[in-house]
Amino acid sequence: MLKNLFKTIFPDLCIGCNGLLIKNESVLCIHCRHDLPYTQHHKNPNNEALLKFYGIVPIENCFAMLYFHNEGIAKRLMHQLKYKGKQEIGTLLGNMYYPELEDKFKHEDSKTTFEIIPVPLHKKRQKERGYNQVTTFCKALSKGLDITLNETLLIRNHYTKTQTQKNKIARQKINDALFDIVETTSESNKHYILVDDIITTGATLEACAKALLRIPNAKVSIVTMAFTET
Ligand SMILES: [Zn+2]
């Protein structure tokens, strides 16, 4: 009753067009879902996202769902997800994206096991924000693809403030030291699907992938919600 009254005064609006959402719609109306700037990376194994890592760190597959433009809908979605607590955005995107990835991460080879690994926030930042912005996206992928979500294997070491002043090489050195693997004995022959919100320079994902590839016989793929063309 109260909830209905609240919804009458503050109806749910589409993040894309600000139109009223109808019953059973959340986050985006059907028109905005249809018009999202999809990259179609899953249709091209040698896509622009994979090329970002070419010659730097061996990545099996790299798929970003949406193009991130400066004034676009993907930017609004990422902002609301990251800073406004709208974690249902991650769930929606994960539920929309996993069917495109089903044939990419199939358990064909009985020796290889897939695991979904979120790029971790530092504990302090996660405490400030209350959540990691990739968690709901990871959970939706994990459920849809029937692949275990492992939130404890990869850890972030230090809390860093903005790194914009430092040059690229210095930044990468710091990034490489940022991530570590929690030691385990049963992690060989895993194919890790590393998940983040956006690929911009790729430096964070590069550092995470390098950390995971220290595990014997590990393979790494990357899936993100958005991709910045640079
Ligand atoms: Zn809309």
pLDDT, tens only, 125-174: 888 889 999 999 999 999 999 999 999 999 998 755 555 556 777 777 77
Which residues sit opposite 118 in a β-bridge?
195
pLDDT value, residue 123: 83
Residues with CB in 5 Å of ion ligand 1: 14, 16-17, 19, 29, 32
pLDDT value, residue 188: 73
Order of strands across the sheet that contains 190-199 = 62-67, 219-227, 190-199, 113-118, 148-149
User: What is the CATH number that goes with domain 38-227?
Assistant: 3.40.50
Q: 135: CA distance to ligand 1 center in Å?
A: 24
pLDDT value, residue 37: 96
Query: Which token pair is 13?
Result: 């609006």
Instruction: Look at residue 185 and tell me whether its pLDDT is greater than 70.
Output: no
Mean pLDDT in residue range 9-18? 85
- Greatest C-alpha distance within the chain: 59
pLDDT class for 7, splitting at 50, 70, 90? low
Mean pLDDT in residue range 174-191? 78
Q: 30: CA distance to ligand 1 center in Å?
A: 7
Every domain of the chain and the residues it spans: 1-35, 38-227
Q: 28: CA distance to ligand 1 center in Å?
A: 5
C-alpha distance across the termini of the chain, in Å: 49
For residue range 85-129, list pLDDT tens digits in order: 999 999 999 999 999 999 999 866 667 799 999 999 988 888 888
Nearest to 53 by CA among 188, 215, 224, 182: 224
For residue range 56-87, list pLDDT tens digits in order: 999 999 999 999 999 899 999 999 999 999 99
